[in-house]
Structure 1
Amino acid sequence: MIRLPQAGGGVREYHPRAEPLALAAGGPFTSRTVFSAAHVVADPYADTTPDAPAAVDWDATLAFRRHLWSHGLGVAEAMDTAQRGMGLDWAGAAELIRRSAAEAKAVGGTIACGVGTDQLTAGSRADLTEIRAAYEEQLAVVEESGAQAILMASRALAAGAKGPEDYAEIYGHLLRQASEPVILHWLGPMFDPALAGYWGSADLDTATDTFLDVIKAHPDKVDGIKVSLLDAGREVALRRRLPEGVRCYTGDDFHYPELIAGEEPAAGGRFSHALLGIFDPLGPLAAEAVRVLDTGDRDGFRTLLDPTVELSRHLFQAPTRFYKTGVVLLAWLAGHQDHFTMVGGLQSARSLPHLARAYELADGLGLFPDPALAESRMRSLLTVYGVPR
């Protein structure tokens, strides 16, 4: 029994499960392409401050990626789950890309890496030439590493673009320049408030039209799109309008089971692939579910994955951009790292009741390979906060 603090005050008793789910490693999937956006492991012994460059524990960071690859998942590297723009600067991201891409090559893992403009000085307004050059620099690093590129949304472009035509110019240039098809990432303002009005309009229908115009102008250079708007209906409508051969990778951490399962064959059979932050803590369970889907068993897939949505909605509750804190907590409790420390000190971004509920939900799902270790570590965290035994 463990006493867990409640959101409304006080504590209550919780009895952790004794046994985890039995989830074996496995090879690639056949019906869906699935990426887990992976977190970085901080170096807890580094003498840093929140504004200093990130100090990364490279061994533990790469070990976690090998864990994901061992279950057949691809790794989406240097994305917002890795605290890109929230503790991890471009220099750190470039090193992460190079190291992870080399590791992927060594073990035969699939990897795609984020390309942005975060080397530009925060708070200063860059012109389109500077924004394009920043994107080009990062695209070169990713392509030289041998990884697939993910063109991420740019805070600088959101601040500097005068309208949809500026987005069309920047993205058109980058797509013509890319040596291989890329993934375009539309990240909503719930994940990053600085991206409000992306694609040149606060009206999502207008923004969607601009987004699709960019894709339709260069369909041979777009492998797919990652949509992170937390709006299942909008994603379904958008994927129906994609050019033939362009994939939709769901980034919807609220509705992923239904979006990945897709429509019934009679309704068109369209579905989303996945590029999700929640598949960091859910990796082995998500992989098991997709293998069931590979057999054509949509109901079995939903039976495994639907119960995880409550945990995901908890981790990604507003302010959504701080979901990384719960992700790293669960990695620590699961034994993937030896501490609950994050770059930029972001371990303090969520309340103790929030973290306690994340533990309870994850334990209930059987996500911890060693439930006793997870309980012991949760007890140590509660002790730091003064929760009575």
Structure 2
Amino acid sequence: MSTVRHLKSPAAPAPLANGNNSSIDVPTIVQGVIEDVRANGDAAVRRYSEQFDKWSPKSFKLSDQEIQDIIATVPKQTVEDIKTVQSNVRAFAEAQKASLRDFEVEIRPGIHLGQKNVPIQNVGCYIPGGRYPLLASAHMTILTAKVAGVPNVIACTPPIAGEIPNATIAAMYFAGADAIYLLGGTQAIAAMALGTETIPKVDFICGPGNAFVATAKAKLYGSIGIDLFAGPTEVLIVADEYASSFTVAVDLLSQAEHGPDTPAVLITTSEKLANETIAHVEKILTETDMSTAALAGTSWRDYGEVIVVDTIDEAYQVADSFASEHVQILTQNPREALDKMKNYGALFLGEKTCVSYGDKVIGTNHVLPTKGAARYTGGLCVQKFLKTYTYQEVKSEDASGELGKLCGRAARAERFEGHARSGDRRAQLYAGEKYKWIYE
């Protein structure tokens, strides 16, 4: 009989006022901002930007000249790196788009059914910038939307401590944004979703963000589309006895630094590796000069988890129960996870691959499902920016007449007389059927 052993469990930090590890009532604040922007437009947007970001420029939209001046301040190597990473993202997104196709099929003689993939017309991308300038999010959102064929993409990013995030603006520009706004937080999401005097309303909003941004997207969903209901970053590593415990520790902490509430989970068949990993994590946090050790250490203390199982198959089963955002496979045969696992945002196979590659450079999208959403959805991709429509055309009189008779019977079985009569009319026109109700 198998046994699951927890060598480290989450510390379960005590819940505070709103039961969400915060004394701030995020939903109430967000709802207030949304209603204010709805009623007062630009004036409300400016007031909240001043309040939260200490930012109140003449125009939140950057002019073409301002964008070029900003890009001129970005180091040449950074610009080259942005373009290299974006070429990777573009190549993968173009391959995704190529895998989709419009089609038309004649399912029966004279009955033609088709499918068309039509881009969303107006998309808003949010590029976060609270703790870090997350320029990689520009690649993942703006560029992917443009590859999908979205004709109008606007993008918002906040100032960081009152400063313009120059590299992020460069990334937004090179990704293909049609308009760039230096604006953040709930006010940016509300402005894009509702429209103001100077910020156009969009049909769809994508991009990661803090609790305020995520809550705003959730509250506005329905009036606009959104990519995902986002939560804190998650990482889960499946490792066997062949893995390097030091590599496991490094990779767990690489994601734990995202914030103080990042679940970092190790599932392994080796108790020796589990204990060594725990020791390495503590040493890295306390004895090296990791600049984000405080954040990573908080996540590790409160949300870190180490689980030992008997078999690799059991490791995959337990991993599937987490449905984690990022799942890294550090085993002797990593590709078997492609068959064994069903619930994950993205898989990272083998020691030569790491989650940080996916976050920053490799080309797959880093906007991924969290909080178990991988059980029912994947991450941001070209398909999210496309609306799959169907169309129908009956070209044959015989086919329409037969469908009319079938529709009449099927609709009356459900007691939909109006539907039935629509079918009857075609049966009359094209199959010579007679119905008492038809008086023409």
Asked if Structure 1 and Structure 2 have the same fold, meaning a TM-score greater than 0.5 normalized by the shorter chain, the answer is: no
- Point out the structure with max Rg over C-alpha: 2
TM-score (norm 2): 0.27
Q: Which structure has greater strand proportion? A: 2
